[in-house]
Amino acid sequence: MPRRLVSMFVALLVLSGPGVLTQSALADDRVDLLLVLAADISRSVDDRKFRLQREGYAAAIVDPRVVRAMAGGPVGRIALCFVEWAGDTDQAVVMDWTSVGNADEAEAVARRIKDAPRAFMGRTSISAAIDYGLGQLSRSPFQSDRRVIDVSGDGTNNSGRPVTEARDGAVAQGVTINGLVILSEIPLATNPMHTHPPGGLTQYYEKNVIGGPGAFVVEAESFEAFGQLLISKLIKEIAETSPRTRG
């Protein structure tokens, strides 16, 4: 009789084990948000602007308010992927998918972003950046009901397919695209319309780049102001995952 009970218990473990492991693995993979940070490093972003942008991202990610937002959702963590882009064939993953839910993890992410070398310079293909970001979302090892591509840039799309086609394709798959516009005081000498399109760059992003549930665009007056604005933008972006209270 005892042997029979042992045999039944072992059989039960064998039968139930895979399901239990699968549920555990799925729980470990869940996050409140999948966020692709897509930064423009085209020719208009010189070395000084590039460094300001990198440092802005690194500083924003470790800001205590941003960390609290990351940890404030139902799961208590989000997943980040940081990419940089320029022309239609110039995209690179600077930091692959990483789950972040506390200050130490945020600090590790910030170091990786800050220390990575610059990959290239080129034209400006926002459409290719969106397509590339969509590809990163599809290969993420983490799972979330919310998927966002956060595009920062200082000019219009001048390479690759029309940006509206890329935006509409991503939105059709349930992805939200937000924008952070970096304004230039002086128009680009070789192509003034690139940095100063009719109606302004912010309006260009509103009409052509952003889309999806809750999409928004914010503008930084300069690369010097980029970091502080990014903090408030990330908080707004991530806060959608936090539990909502009724007033």
Helix (H) / strand (E) containing 136: helix 126-138
- Please give the biggest Cα pair distance in the chain: 89
Residue 126 has, within 13 A of its CA and on its CB side, a CA count of 28
DSSP string, 34-71: EEEEEEE-STTS-HHHHHHHHHHHHHHHH-HHHHHHHH
**Which of 101, 82, 79, 104 has its CA nearest to residue 38?**
82
Q: Per-residue pLDDT tens for 161-184? A: 999 999 999 999 999 999 999 998
Cβ proximity of 88 and 113 under 8 Å: no
Tell me: pLDDT of 67 over 50.
Answer: yes
- 22 band by pLDDT with thresholds 50, 70 and 90: very low
Percent of the chain with pLDDT strictly greater than 90: 74
Per mean pLDDT, which range of 24-33, 34-43, 55-64, 78-87 is the poorest? 24-33
pTM, two decimal places = 0.86
- Give the three-state DSSP class for 97: strand
Per mean pLDDT, which range of 17-21, 41-45, 116-120 is the poorest? 17-21
- Would the CA dihedral through 197, 125, 53, 73 be positive or negative? positive
Q: Per-residue pLDDT tens for 87-146? A: 999 999 999 999 999 999 999 999 999 999 998 889 999 999 999 999 999 999 999 999
- All domains of the chain in start order, with CATH: 30-239 (3.40.50.410)
Q: Per-residue pLDDT tens for 211-223? A: 999 999 999 988 8
Report how far residue 139's alpha carbon sits from residue 137's, in angstroms, rounded to the nearest whole number.
Answer: 5
pLDDT score, position 156: 97
